[in-house]
Structure 1
Amino acid sequence: MITSDVARAADFRLCAEALIDRAIITAASDRALLEKIRRHQPALQSTFGRLTGWRVQTHPEFARLVKTPARAEASHRLAWAKGRLDYALLAWVLWYGEHTHGRKFTVSQIAEEIKLRSAGPDGAGVDWTSHAQRLAAKRVFRGLEEMGILRLQDGSVDEWADENGKRDALYAWGDAAWRIHVGIPAAELERLAEGRPASPAPPADGTDEIRLYRTLLLNPALFRRDDPAAFRLLDSQEVRARILVNLRYLTHWELEVTPEYARVLRPARSDDAVQTPIPVTSGLDHAVLCFCGLLRDRQASDRLVPAGGESFLIDESRVWQDVDELQKRFGTKWGKTMQQRKVGTLAEEIVDKMKEWGLMRDTDVPGQYLVLPTAARLAAHYGDEIERDADSED
């Protein structure tokens, strides 16, 4: 009986973590996990509903946790999306499905429709003669396949993208396609259609504790500066202990609390997680860690502009100078591509990655960034550099 209870609890946590970290779990990708989620659905719904107010959606072919963040962050992006065009094409594809009432389609058909519909008064719109735009379309179709929204029935979107539309692929709509909805008020859609800016985002909903759980589970960290009321709950040892118990019931993750931020610590598991420990799988990841190390050294010597809450300000021009210095010093360790990349491009990529990891944000001042306290916990050290520094001290 004890063994059975332990196994059941382990399966429950496995399901909960997967629902938190993945956009959707499909039968095609992991039927065994899907069946576990469906078995545990009542307990999962009860726990997620109580702690976060989220809904667990199950179906014979997929399951998903309908997650509403307390605060939107760059880390909430789709893992396969590379830029605004990807999201624009995603919206066009979903629109096409509703427009055609879910009929099967070929990529060439939908591409032509998107080209015509996206053209503005000057005729400019999606241009399929652009290799970059065809690659974006390929990412979108592949991503929607993984999410169970589209099912490839014939051909290859790779061939369509590589052959400038001369070859084709046939798609049908998956079971998840008609169950992914975002509630946008009609008035807001009219504003956007008229070219007016979106309305200001409403205040985060839910109680202080619900916002706390939502942020810990979805965002890189909960910062005191963002939500003082939710963060103050952690100042009470009794409340903190209860929150930790709830997190450990739901997941295998630990809770780290500092004076200015709190975060859950996940063990490394997979590439599709929303919030894994900082990876070191690419040259760009190394460049980010090196940049964080430089900022940490500068912070230790009081050479950063404080912005309160252990955060600091840095200008874009300073970022460029620092990246130039780091590229010259460590570029050979990041790989040939990173070593030869233009400094401006590399600086932009580092900033984007830091925003994605919850280490940096834009400010109201153009060209100025806010460096968050989580950045000070990271650095990269190469063995030969450490030895060289030791030799210079001798």
Structure 2
Amino acid sequence: MVEQVPQEVQAIQQEELAQEPITSQRTMLARDNTQPASSDIIKAHVTLLEHRVLLSTQGDHFRLVQHHYHRLQSWHDRHTGWRIQRSSTVMRLIRTLSTTTPGYLYERIKEPRDFACLTWILWYAEQRQLSGRGNDQQFLLSHLAEQIQEQSAQEAEGNEPFDFRRPGDRYSIQRALNYLEGLGGLQLVDGQTREWVEQSPDADVLYEFTDIARSLVSSLDARRVTQVAQRLNDPHTSIQPTYIAENDTTQPLARAWRVLLLGPAFCKFDDPVAFHALQQQSSQIAEELLNTFGWLLDLQRDYACIVRPAGSSSGPVNLLTPYGSNDQIALLLCNALREQVRSGTWNTPDSYGCVVVATEDMVQLFDAVRERYGENWGNEARHKSAQSLLNDVYRKMRQLGVMRGPDASGHLLILPTAARFKASYDKFEEQEKSNPRTRNKANTKRKKDQAPQAH
């Protein structure tokens, strides 16, 4: 079993692909002229890449990466330019971006204010270091909230400052704290965050920063963050190429490696020069990827991505399940998008395999999909307003890397990666084909929790 193996690759385009996906065999490495890496080395590479932070308390994983540190760093020196930050208790792969990945979110923090809270928490940790309180890393949540609220009011610049009397802001800081705690950057010393969020009388929480929080602060590139933030905050650039060109001296092939490893996909639209470099050395890269990580390269005319064995990934790769309503709707919309292009109803793909769609057209398409398949979805999706549900589906599609936008002018960008996904409610489709007159009857008898079959 593999994850996201395409059934109809590039069906969103009008012509056949010029080349097939690359699935190289396990052979000798062309660059190093050495034998393929052992399973131990492969496991070390995957562990380092798919853990945002490695702690000494994680035992075997930490020791494995520590043991192979020099070989791992040498590989990244050659291919990505990333460095491994390590100490006796913490190791992290510091990943420098060459492109942004809009919508590719972690599950624990989803909203912009969640990320803002996380940033303010790290700012607070830095201020404690600078103020000379570095040896005493314990703090009260109430004091943290007070500092964030005060500072965000001074630095608002048109953004709404935090006010932790609002439930939404309290939940945002809770999610940010839980995320940082999950990374090992925080330790809960006393109290319950939930009680503080629910504003129980006299409730407070005592936390303690760890070395990981200092590691996150020390590796922060403020110039790069500001540069990316300006791009992401500009609604006019939301469907533009995501390559961060300013002051980027990274070689094209290294940029290709970075985007591939960060996922979810590398579109030619974002960085044509790096994509061309990938095409020129596709066989070597496919072989290197297989020998280093045990993964396959799926290279198409307008995009490339990594195919991992199902269930083998513990890192932040995109999550897709046939049992979530939003996932089902996203897959079904990929079908419908393909049919709109194939039938000529919408514009043909551009030279990068992308299609620009007006939000009004997408709403009409979504309404048609909901009318046809809506009885298969869960209670929440069936009873949610159309626009609210569509916004949730947009988020999922951005996370999957198949769509961007909408932008300030009300347009969406459909990426060629949408053609990787195909889904159907098999039993219902068979009933329709055998006897169209029974469609309404079949609608009422389908199981509410029936999931589509993804191909």
- The TM-score, its normalising length taken from structure 1, stands at 0.87
| Residues in 1 aligned to 2:416 and 2:106: alpha-carbon distance in whole angstroms | 25
1:332 shift after superposition: 3.1
Higher relative contact order (CA 8 A, sep 6+): 2
Q: CA distance change for structure 1 residues 210 and 127 in 2, over 3 Å: closer, same or farther?
A: same
Q: Deviations over 1:2-51 (max 9, x none)?
A: xxxx99822322222232233222344x3221111111111111111111
- The amino acid of 1:24's aligned partner reads V
User: What residue ranges of structure 1 are gaps of 5+ in the alignment?
Assistant: 1-5
Secondary structure of 2:423's counterpart equals coil
1:391 aligns with 2:434: yes
Separation of aligned partners in 1, 2:123 and 2:78: 34
Change (3 A) 1:206 1:119: closer
Match among 265, 270, 290 for residue 307 of structure 2: 265
Amino acid aligned to 1:74: P
Counterpart AA for 1:382: Y
Could you report, residue by residue, the CA deviation over 1:224-272 in whole angstroms, capped at 9, with x for unpaired residues?
Answer: 2222222223444xx2221112111221110111111111111233685
1:296 alignment partner AA: R
Which of 198, 207, 214 is the matching residue for 2:251? 207
Aligned pair partner of 1:282 in 308, 324, 327: 324
1:130 aligns with 2:166: yes
Cα displacement (A) at 1:131:
1.9
Q: Deviation above 6 Å: which 4+ runs of structure 1?
A: 121-124, 186-189
Residue 175 of structure 1 corresponds to 211
Deviation at 1:370, TM superposition (A): 0.9
Q: CA deviation at 1:331?
A: 2.8
- CA gap 1:135/1:266 in 2 versus in 1, 3 angstroms: same
The alpha-carbon deviation at position 386 of structure 1 amounts to 1.6
Aligned partner (choices 42, 47, 56) of residue 75 of structure 2: 47
1:242-321 pair list within 5 angstroms = 242-269=284-311, 273-276=315-318, 278-308=320-350, 309-321=352-364
Contiguous gaps of at least 5 residues in structure 2: 1-34, 236-243, 438-455
Aligned equivalent of 1:184: 222
Provide closer, same or farther for how the CA distance between residues 22 and 329 of structure 1 changes in structure 2, counting only shifts above 3 A.
farther
- 1:325 correspondence with 2:368: yes
In structure 1, the residue matched to 2:100 is: 72
Considering fraction of residues, name the structure with more helix. 1
What residue identity is the alignment partner of 1:375?
A
Report the more deviating stretch, 62-71 or 114-123. Answer: 114-123
Alignment correspondent of 2:147? 113
Amino acid at match of 1:111: A
- Whether the 8 Å contact between 1:216 and 1:263 is mirrored in structure 2 is yes
**Deviation digits for residues 200-230 of structure 1 (CA, Å, limit 9, x no counterpart):** 8615431121111111111222222222222
Q: Which amino acid aligns with 1:218?
A: L
Q: Is contact 1:204-1:211 (8 Å) kept?
A: no
- Equivalent residue letter for 1:18: T
Tell me, yes or no, if structure 1 residue 62 matches structure 2 residue 90.
yes
> CA 1:263/1:204 → structure 2, altered by over 3 Å: closer, same or farther?
farther
Deviation at 1:99, TM superposition (A): 1.8
Call closer, same or farther: CA 1:271–1:133 in 2, change over 3 Å.
farther
Residue 353 and residue 215 in structure 1: after superposition, are their counterparts in 2 closer, same or farther (change >3 A)?
same
Is 1:104 matched up with 2:148?
no
Equivalence for 1:380: 423
Cα distance between partner residues in 1 of 2:299 and 2:224 = 41
- Deviation of 1:280 after TM superposition, in Å, equals 2.9
Structure 2 CA distance for aligned equivalents of residues 132 and 187 of structure 1: 25
2:183 to 136, 147, 155: 147
1:10 equivalenced with 2:39 (yes/no): yes
1:84-123: CA deviation from partner (whole Å, max 9, x where unpaired): 1011111211111122224311111211222222235999
Q: Following the alignment from structure 2 to structure 1, what is the Cα–Cα distance between the partners of residues 99 and 79?
A: 16
Contact 1:70 1:205 in 2 (8 A): no
Q: What is the one-letter code of the residue matched to 1:261? A: Y
Give the Cα–Cα distance (whole angstroms) in 2 for the partners of residues 188 and 312 of structure 1: 30
